[in-house]
Amino acid sequence: MNWYLKCLKQYADFSGRARRQEYWMFVLFNMIFAIVAMIIDNVVGTASPELGYGMFYSLYVLAVLVPGLAVAVRRLHDVGKSGWMFFIVLIPLVGAIWLFVLLVTDSQQGNNKWGHNPKELTG
């Protein structure tokens, strides 16, 4: 949960590096909270029958859109890639697979142009 809160505190920080654990813990808690928001939508009755989600889910997605992009860009910086590499996801199928490979790749050792290796700083 601390990793999720750290990403929210760094709301629009697109500089620096984010280690794998920070990114994937954010993704995990993000998915959990999104599912909870969908359940709330269905229980309260604000869910659209065609979509399966409604106002609560939509508000949650809008709230975490920028922090999610920021942590993804910092994760790409950690493996030595520019944040603009995120747009590779626009290439059908192959782009999403390549982005996933980049996001699970281990940190680039030592310093790079985006800063110190956060894995080396914390242990």
- Give pLDDT tens digits for 67-113: 999 999 999 999 999 999 999 999 999 999 999 999 999 988 888 89
Asked if pLDDT for residue 5 goes beyond 70, the answer is yes
For the chain, give the mean pLDDT.
90
Residue 50's pLDDT is what?
Answer: 84
For the chain, the residue count is 123
Q: Which range, of 29-38, 42-51, 75-84, averages the lowest pLDDT?
A: 42-51
Measured distance CA(101)–CA(105) in Å, rounded: 6
What 8-state DSSP symbol labels residue 87?
Answer: G
Can you give the pLDDT at residue 13?
Answer: 87
**Distance (Å, whole) CA 98 – CA 79:** 13
CA dist 90 and 84 (Å) reads 12
Q: Model's pTM, two decimal places? A: 0.87
